[in-house]
Amino acid sequence: MPVGIDESGRERLVFIEGDVAVPPYPDWAQSDAALSSIAVLMAAFHEASRAFDPSGLTWSAEMADPVGGPIVCHNDVCLENVVFREGVAVGLVDFDFAAPGRPVYDLAAFARMCVPIDDDVSAARLGWHPADRPARLRLIADAYGLDAPGRVQLGEALADSIARGGEFVRLRVEAGDPNFLAMWNDMGGMERFDRRRRWWAEHEDRFANALR
């Protein structure tokens, strides 16, 4: 992970020892304990970010909170970007899409990818096992320490994130990025995101009830 810039303008990095899960995700990475530990780590990261002034700097807008905000957020906390030791999250990596935003939007993006809040077809392609996904969303809210208003905001941020799903990949495809073009074709294009939107419309009430 990055720790600074040296006197020659080179980025300084530090290696975080541990395990990183990749698809198909192993059982230990799908556990409730692993999920809650990521939420705890994100709470600590957001708290630490409050001491940093992001104004006047240039940030990626590709996955940033569309509303903006005062806290530097990761914006891409998926299992591949979390380092674990003995099943407990100890570090975040890959800050390419970090940008100021609302912590709850960062938390929603993480929940979408790691609960996961996704249709069954797409979730199965990454090796996710069937689970009580509304309960896992509630677990994130509990572990992070969200109060009642924060839980409402989390649900709203999730709905917004899902509604906007596919924009980032589509823009990369239109720019001619061969890796994203291959991903787009492999996923079935925008249908993958439309399918998730249809699934969310059918299940949104269950997730809202779990956050109450």
Full-model pTM:
0.92
Token representation of residue 165:
């799903």
Q: How do residues 45-100 score in pLDDT, each as one tens digit?
A: 999 999 999 999 999 999 999 999 999 999 999 999 999 999 999 999 999 999 99
Would 13 be classed as within a structural domain? Answer: no
Count up the domains in the chain and report the number: 1
For residue 66, give its domain range: 18-210
Would 133 be classed as within a structural domain? Answer: yes
Would 8 be classed as within a structural domain? Answer: no
Q: What is the pLDDT of residue 1?
A: 55
Would 110 be classed as within a structural domain? Answer: yes
Question: What is the pLDDT confidence band of residue 143, given thresholds at 50, 70 and 90?
Answer: very high
Would 1 be classed as within a structural domain? Answer: no
- Alpha-carbon distance of 144 to 19, in angstroms, equals 22
Q: What is the pLDDT of residue 2?
A: 62
Would 123 be classed as within a structural domain? Answer: yes
Name the DSSP letter for residue 31. S
Residue 166 sits in a domain of what CATH number? 3.90.1200.10
Q: How do residues 188-210 score in pLDDT, each as one tens digit?
A: 999 999 999 999 999 999 999 99
Would 11 be classed as within a structural domain? Answer: no
- Alpha-carbon distance of 100 to 68, in angstroms, equals 6
3-state secondary structure 112-165: HHHCCCCCHHHHHHCCCCCCCHHHHHHHHHHHHCCCHHHHHHHHHHHHHHHHCC
Would 2 be classed as within a structural domain? Answer: no
